[in-house]
């Protein structure tokens, strides 16, 4: 079911000039080296759907690392090879909206199940991309576009990916897909939620069958964490976690997780994050970790450990989320009962933004107002005076400087000392 559609024109429209140039350069290089080169995976799916795609993936029928090294030279990038997997990443600095950004090109060697003898090379050339694609998760991710200059833009669709994109269907390529890689069940939900696609009946049955056969009990390793994080990051978490539960997959992550309460808390966390986006906070925060902390919030200490262990969270993140939850709990308990700006500031200014947003999810109405007040007003308040200014006033440098700044800050938090002149006046009189 190979199509002969050519999408070169669409590529030219869709990709930036710089990236289009990289792809045509890759195509010319493939010709020179006698390799087949293909754009594959999410970037083809996104191209056909005309959705922006973060990075590009290329598969090479040939030596992927050698190809990456040559391509990198031509486009002035930096190669990071992974010989163990016969893959490489090229890092290329590009300009987007006037800003420098890192752009990654992933290059892999076409993967085939079986050893192929060099004598069979001509046959391999046409079949190895097909085998590579056949190992992939869903039909929508198993499209390829030929890059070789001779056929640049030829869309290769062995498994009906175009039709499934049109029908908005998530469909596996074969019945053993989830047995081969159980994390694909999480991916199915992620793509379904983020693209607004339906998981096909048959694929859904295969997930249910895999659950029945306890395939997911063996689910382990860092990929589980990575997929869960992507799920939380790219979808509305209350919807996608509910769907995990519907397939019986949530309780596999931890038996104590399956509770109605979790969905409403995740929904609240999602709303909180949406509201934060409107505040245009300068600080970056990882919303997916906030959702993960919400998942952990109602668990006992030992259950938190078990859950984090099970999904193989990296040690540093594990420590961080546990500590952040405890800080948020403590801060909520210590929350000042009256609306004193100084006390609110004192409580919140030592906490990172992720802890503060987490607090917001579990705060009472009054506390929520206070936290918003802190984020929108108090947080930015700083004395206008500098050490230099105090020196000019003839105050000898020493610990007194910190005292003066602290007192000025307190005054300002209460709405006083609005101008630099007033601060100077205050500093002059300080300690008198
Ligand atoms: N893949 C797979 N099984 C997995 C993970 C990935 O078959 N468990 C394949 C898919 O074909 C996917 C490709 O590897 O298209 C690249 O994976 P990834 O970068 O995780 O996903 P993308 O499809 O690129 O999707 P996105 O970047 O939009 O998340």
Query: Domain check: are 60 and 136 in the same one?
Result: yes
Within 10 angstroms of residue 116's Cβ, the number of other Cβ atoms is 14
Same domain, 324 and 410: no
Residue 424 and residue 354 share a domain: no
253 is a domain residue: no
- Boundary residue ending a domain (140, 166, 192): 166
The CATH number assigned to the domain holding 318 equals 1.10.3090.10
Rounded to 10°, the helix 400-413/420-429 angle is 130
Same domain, 329 and 394: no
Within-domain flag for 372: yes
| Ranges under pLDDT 70 in the chain | 1-3, 112-127, 280, 431-432
Q: How far apart are the CA of 221 and the centre of ligand 1, in A?
A: 17
As for how many domains the chain has, the answer is 3
Q: Is residue 84 packed enough to be buried (19+ CB in 10 Å), middle (13-18) or exposed (0-12)?
A: exposed
Cβ 67 vs Cβ 48: under 8 Å: no
Q: Are residues 335 and 394 in the same domain?
A: no
Q: Is residue 424 part of a domain?
A: yes
Residue 193 counted as domain residue: no
Can you read off the two tokens belonging to residue 85? 């997997």
Q: Which ligand 1 atom sits nearest the alpha carbon of residue 54? A: 27
Q: What are the DSSP calls for 224-241, one per residue?
A: HHHHHHHHHHHS-HHHHH
Q: For atom 27 of ligand 1, which residue has the closest CA? A: 42
User: Is 215 within a domain?
Assistant: no
Same domain, 36 and 143: yes
Q: Are residues 333 and 404 in the same domain?
A: no
* Helix ranges (DSSP H) in 113-221: 121-134, 161-167, 177-180, 184-195, 201-212
pLDDT score, position 3: 59
Closest ligand 1 atom, residue 190 Cα: 29
Summarize pLDDT for 160-205 with one digit per residue, the tens: 999 999 999 999 999 999 999 999 999 999 999 999 999 999 999 9
Helix, coil or strand: residue 38 = strand
The pLDDT score that the predictor gives to residue 356 is 97
In 3D space, the residue among 247, 67, 52, 31 whose CA is nearest the CA of residue 152 turns out to be 31
pLDDT tens per residue across span 65-90: 999 999 999 999 999 999 999 999 99
Query: For ligand 1, is residue 181 a contact (CB within 6 Å)?
Result: yes
CA distance 14 to 56: 13
Please state whether beta strands 198-199 and 169-170 pair in parallel, antiparallel, or not at all (unpaired): parallel
- The verdict on the CB of residue 139 being under 6 Å from ligand 1 is no
Residue 60 Cα to ligand 1 midpoint, Å, equals 17
From ligand 1's centre to the CA of 137, what distance in Å? 7
Q: Which token pair is 378?
A: 């108090």
Q: Give the domain range for residue 154.
A: 8-166
Position 54 in a domain? yes
CA-CA distance, 136 to 172, in Å (whole number)?
Answer: 8
β-strand partners of 91:
78, 104
Q: According to the model, what pLDDT value does residue 2 have?
A: 54
Using alpha carbons, select from 251, 240, 253, 226 the residue that is nearest to residue 190.
240
| Cα 364–Cα 365–Cα 371 angle in degrees, nearest 5 | 85
Cα 187 to ligand 1 centre (Å) = 8
Same domain, 364 and 336: yes
Residue 23 lies in a domain: yes
Predicted confidence at residue 216, as pLDDT, reads 84
Nearest-atom number in ligand 1 for the CA of 138 is 11
Q: Residue 113 has what pLDDT?
A: 52
- Dihedral sign from CA coordinates of 114, 115, 120, 125: positive
In this structure, which residue's CA is closest to atom 21 in ligand 1? Answer: 42
Give the pLDDT confidence score for residue 161 in this predicted structure: 97
Inside any domain, residue 134: yes
ipTM > 0.90 (yes/no): yes
The DSSP symbol for 218 reads: G
Distance from residue 107's CA to the centre of ligand 1 (Å) = 13
Nearest to 165 by CA among 149, 141, 145, 183: 141
Find the 400 Cα to ligand 1 centroid distance in Å.
59
- Which of 147, 166, 185 is a domain's end point? 166
Q: What is the DSSP letter of 395?
A: P
């Amino acid at each position: 079911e190979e199509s002969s559609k050519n999408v070169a024109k669409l590529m030219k429209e869709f990709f930036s000039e710089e990236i289009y140039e990289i792809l045509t350069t890759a195509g010319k290089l493939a010709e020179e080296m006698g390799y087949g080169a293909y754009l594959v995976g999410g970037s083809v799916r996104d191209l056909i759907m005309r959705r922006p795609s973060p990075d590009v993936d290329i598969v090479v029928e040939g030596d992927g690392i050698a190809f990456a090294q040559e391509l990198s030279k031509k486009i002035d990038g930096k190669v990071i090879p992974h010989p163990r997997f016969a893959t490489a990443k090229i890092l290329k600095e590009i300009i987007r909206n006037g800003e420098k950004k890192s752009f990654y090109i992933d290059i892999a060697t076409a993967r085939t199940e079986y050893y192929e003898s060099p004598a069979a090379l001509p046959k391999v050339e046409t079949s190895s991309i097909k085998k590579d694609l056949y190992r992939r998760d869903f039909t929508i991710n198993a499209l390829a576009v030929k890059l070789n200059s001779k056929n640049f833009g030829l869309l290769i669709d062995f498994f009906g990916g175009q039709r499934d994109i049109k029908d908005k269907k998530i469909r596996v390529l074969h019945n053993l897909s989830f047995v081969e890689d159980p994390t694909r069940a999480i991916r199915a939900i992620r793509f379904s939620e983020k693209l607004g696609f339906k998981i096909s009946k048959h694929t859904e049955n295969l997930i249910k069958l895999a659950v029945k056969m306890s395939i997911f009990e063996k689910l382990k390793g860092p990929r589980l964490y990575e997929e869960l994080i992507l799920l939380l990051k790219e979808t509305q978490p209350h919807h996608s976690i509910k769907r995990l539960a519907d397939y019986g997959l949530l309780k596999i992550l931890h038996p104590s997780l399956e509770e109605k309460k979790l969905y409403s808390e995740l929904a609240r966390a999602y709303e909180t994050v949406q509201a934060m986006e409107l505040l245009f906070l300068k600080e970056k925060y990882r919303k997916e970790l906030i959702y993960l902390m919400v998942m952990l919030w109602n668990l006992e200490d030992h259950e938190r450990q078990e859950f984090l262990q099970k999904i193989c969270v990296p040690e540093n993140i594990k420590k961080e989320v546990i500590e952040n939850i405890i800080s948020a709990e403590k801060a909520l308990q210590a929350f000042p009962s009256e609306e004193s700006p100084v006390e609110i500031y004192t409580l919140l200014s030592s906490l990172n933004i992720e802890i503060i947003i987490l607090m917001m999810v579990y705060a009472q109405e009054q506390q929520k107002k206070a936290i918003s007040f802190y984020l929108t007003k108090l947080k930015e308040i700083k004395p206008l005076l500098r050490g230099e200014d105090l020196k000019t006033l003839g105050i000898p440098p020493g610990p007194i400087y910190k005292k003066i700044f602290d007192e000025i800050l307190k005054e300002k938090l209460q709405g006083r000392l609005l101008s630099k002149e007033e601060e100077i006046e205050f500093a002059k009189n300080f300690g008198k």
